Chains A and B, each alone.
Chain A
Amino acid sequence: MALVEVTDLAYAYPDGTLALHHVEFCIERGESVGLVGPNGAGKSSLLWHLNGLLPAGPTGHEHPHPTDARLTLGRGGVKVEGLDAAAAANLPRIRRMVGLMFQDPDDQLFCSTVREDVAFGPLNLGLERAEVAARVDESIAAVGLEAVQDKPPHHLSLGERKRACLAGVLACRPRLLALDEPTANLDPRARRQFIALLSGLSCAKLIASHDLEMICELCPRVIVLDRGEIFADGPTGEILADEALMLAHGLEVPMSLAGKATDYGIRATGKESDPSGRNL
């Protein structure tokens, strides 16, 4: 049984816009998968589904506020470790296994200090306070934010906030990390730090991003999503190097793969070890 099984997932807003349509894929334990596609392809909606944040069927849990009406049209399903995300009773366990990192770190860092924020997940798991403190220390150390852990999030740089989000998710010890644009808007150094951080994690990852170079580095497998449908699912080196496919879906062949037939080495990052070679 795969870690995550998505079968015939469809999802639409009530105005008729189809966000996802007949989406099917599996993710194995420890696998790293890239999710690429143009803006509005449905990448974020898909990630939200993995965490049961969007109801996966017409009978999904009721939302009390009228604006949530737009979140109630879905069908098909997501299963995490065999648990159906459509059943509200499974949601706590699913959310424990799938750690979702939001695109905007400010959406996720809602507590007054970084430390409190990292503690939010473990506290909700109902752990002992000593255990919570240990996990918080460990996660903050893992992302290297010891120095700023008592600062409020708005005093942090974007790179630090992204890492704080990651710490908050890691503190729940997820089996799958679902990351939404983890490197967007980061400066090169912060981006490099973040990629190094991610490559050191052993859990399964699903990374939605426009940063195709990062996908090349971190993910041996990639899924191309456009207009809510999957157009390709396979080895990163093959799919991202397919120029016609890339252009058709608002993407471009990453520099590191552009001259693939003759030379892998046109990398802008220079002499740094070339993990994309590992992925090919």
Chain B
Amino acid sequence: MLLAMHIPDGFLGPAATIATWGLAVGGVGYSLWRLRAALGARLAPLIGVTSAGIFAGQMVNFPLVGLATSGHLMGGVLAAVVLGPWGAVVALSTVLIVQCFMFGDGGVTALGANITNMALVGGLLGYTIYAPLRRLLGGGTRGTVLAAVVASWLIIPVAALAFVLEFAAGGTVGIFPLATWMVFYHVLIGLGEAIVTGLVVSWLMSTRPDLIYDPRHAVGRVGQWGQAVAAALVAAVAIAVFLAPWASEHEDGLERVADSLGFANRAEASAWAPFPDYALPSNNAETIEADKSAPANSFVPHAGMVTSLMGLVGTLATFGFAVIVARTAERRGSTLRPDAAAGVP
């Protein structure tokens, strides 16, 4: 349920393309490696056939109340609920590759970005929100459904934000105007994703609860710690990687291109934005003061640097918080294990 679902070719600049392809190759490669350790020869049939199911599930139309259109499930968190983080990454990437080459849905150069946004952010990052939350809520139907709902809701604006960052890294648009629109819109759209994911997960819990992935039963698990930290690192690096070329391109590349094309002054775009001063919180007043002497159209690059730092710090802080919460939850959860671990010899 995402406007920026499948990025076509031609949308992203070279820097974002290379960065997202790097992330995608690394992420899928690592996930395949982890998954092979757990599943062995079962990997290909298990994930391949289940991917077909995820693909079909994404095709199901949900009537959107009050809108003329209908929505589709992105299914990142749903895939992670059933297949676990690594399975979700591989399955969602498989779906994206097939959609790209056999259905013409999503670009080839943008495949890296699509895998990053949907498999790595939607699946892996979604799982790192879902899993600790589920443990915190004590598991069970209620805990699992609630955790899936929250994770799938949060992950949609985050995925949209990832798209904005990738798109803005090409240097054609400013992050903030677009981000404001996209995040606002996707917070709403995410509600749909959250409701549907919740309904599907509660349906699964009532019919085949054994299909819900539980890291405790997975063979070869390296603690959830490793997963959370790895995911946090992936996310932080992702954001840093997207923002770095964006920020640096503004110094020369963009302006050169913009000048040569006779594009409108960047400052105009910023002035048009709904919340032009949103980029610079008041505690960064010194930065603004320091920039007063600079020409008007260097406003955006500095905002970009600030954003970059804010993004990195924000992500790390969020994950630090998640790690602390999850660790507390696990300590509490360990005393509850006997009743939760029923069903498996």
A209 touches B (CB below 8 Å): no
Closest chain B residue to A62, Cβ basis? B219
Those of A161-201 within 8 Å (CB) of chain B: none
Stretch at the interface among B38-46, B64-72, B262-270: B38-46
In the complex, which residues of chain A have a beta carbon less than 8 angstroms from the beta carbon of B40? 64
Contact code string B204-218 (vs A, CB < 8 Å = 1, else 0) = 000000110110011
**Nearest-CB distance from A153 to chain B (Å)?**
14
What 16 new A-B contacts, CB under 8 Å, besides A65-B46, A67-B211? A64-B42, A64-B218, A65-B38, A65-B39, A65-B42, A66-B210, A66-B214, A66-B217, A66-B344, A67-B210, A69-B217, A69-B343, A69-B344, A70-B210, A73-B345, A110-B45
Those of B12-39 within 8 Å (CB) of chain A: 38-39
A14 touches B (CB below 8 Å): yes
In the complex, which residues of chain B have a beta carbon less than 8 angstroms from the beta carbon of A149? none
Those of A64-110 within 8 Å (CB) of chain B: 64-67, 69-70, 72-73, 110
- Interface positions of B (Cβ within 8 A of A): 38-40, 42, 45-46, 210-211, 213-214, 217-220, 343-345
Closest chain A residue to B219, Cβ basis? A64
Bin the interface of chain A by size.
Answer: 10 to 19
Closest chain B residue to A72, Cβ basis? B345
**Nearest-CB distance from A138 to chain B (Å)?**
27
Interface centre among A58, A62, A64, A66, by most B CB within 10 Å?
A: A66
Q: Which of A64, A65, A67, A69 contacts B345 (CB 8 A)?
A: A69
In the complex, which residues of chain A have a beta carbon less than 8 angstroms from the beta carbon of B220? 64
Q: Which of A58, A66, A110 contacts B213 (CB 8 A)?
A: A66
Q: Are B218 and A66 in contact (CB under 8 A)?
A: yes
Contact code string A46-70 (vs B, CB < 8 Å = 1, else 0) = 0000000000001000101111011
Docked CA distance A14–B217 (Å) = 15
Docked CA distance A30–B80 (Å) = 49
Docked CA distance A14–B39 (Å) = 21
**Nearest-CB distance from A154 to chain B (Å)?**
12
- Interface positions of A (Cβ within 8 A of B): 14, 58, 62, 64-67, 69-70, 72-73, 110
In the complex, which residues of chain B have a beta carbon less than 8 angstroms from the beta carbon of A110? 45
What are 13 A-B contacts with C-beta separation under 8 Å?
A14-B344, A62-B219, A64-B38, A64-B40, A64-B219, A65-B38, A65-B39, A66-B217, A66-B344, A67-B210, A69-B217, A72-B345, A110-B45
Q: Which of B42, B211, B218, B343 contacts A14 (CB 8 A)?
A: B343
In the complex, which residues of chain A have a beta carbon less than 8 angstroms from the beta carbon of B218? 64-66
In the complex, which residues of chain A have a beta carbon less than 8 angstroms from the beta carbon of B39? 64-65
Closest chain B residue to A110, Cβ basis? B45
In the complex, which residues of chain B have a beta carbon less than 8 angstroms from the beta carbon of A72? 345
**Nearest-CB distance from B39 to chain A (Å)?**
6
**Nearest-CB distance from A232 to chain B (Å)?**
34
Closest chain A residue to B212, Cβ basis? A66
In the complex, which residues of chain A have a beta carbon less than 8 angstroms from the beta carbon of B38? 64-65
The 6 residue pairs across chains A and B that have the minimum distance between CB atoms: A66-B217, A64-B219, A69-B344, A67-B210, A64-B38, A64-B39
Docked CA distance A58–B345 (Å) = 10
Docked CA distance A125–B39 (Å) = 23
In the complex, which residues of chain B have a beta carbon less than 8 angstroms from the beta carbon of A66? 210, 213-214, 217-218, 344
**Nearest-CB distance from B246 to chain A (Å)?**
41
Closest chain B residue to A13, Cβ basis? B210
Q: Are A14 and B219 in contact (CB under 8 A)?
A: no
Closest chain A residue to B46, Cβ basis? A65
**Nearest-CB distance from A91 to chain B (Å)?**
13
In the complex, which residues of chain B have a beta carbon less than 8 angstroms from the beta carbon of A67? 210-211
Docked CA distance A14–B342 (Å) = 10
In the complex, which residues of chain A have a beta carbon less than 8 angstroms from the beta carbon of B42? 64-65
In the complex, which residues of chain A have a beta carbon less than 8 angstroms from the beta carbon of B343? 14, 69
Interface centre among A14, A64, A69, A72, by most B CB within 10 Å?
A: A64
Closest chain B residue to A73, Cβ basis? B345
Docked CA distance A186–B38 (Å) = 40
In the complex, which residues of chain B have a beta carbon less than 8 angstroms from the beta carbon of A70? 210
In the complex, which residues of chain B have a beta carbon less than 8 angstroms from the beta carbon of A73? 345
Closest chain B residue to A66, Cβ basis? B217
Docked CA distance A67–B45 (Å) = 15
**Nearest-CB distance from A74 to chain B (Å)?**
12
In the complex, which residues of chain A have a beta carbon less than 8 angstroms from the beta carbon of B345? 14, 58, 69, 72-73
**Nearest-CB distance from B118 to chain A (Å)?**
24
Docked CA distance A58–B40 (Å) = 21
Closest chain A residue to B45, Cβ basis? A110
In the complex, which residues of chain A have a beta carbon less than 8 angstroms from the beta carbon of B46? 65
Docked CA distance A62–B214 (Å) = 17
In the complex, which residues of chain A have a beta carbon less than 8 angstroms from the beta carbon of B344? 14, 66, 69
**Nearest-CB distance from A16 to chain B (Å)?**
11
Interface centre among B39, B210, B211, B220, by most A CB within 10 Å?
A: B210
Closest chain A residue to B210, Cβ basis? A67
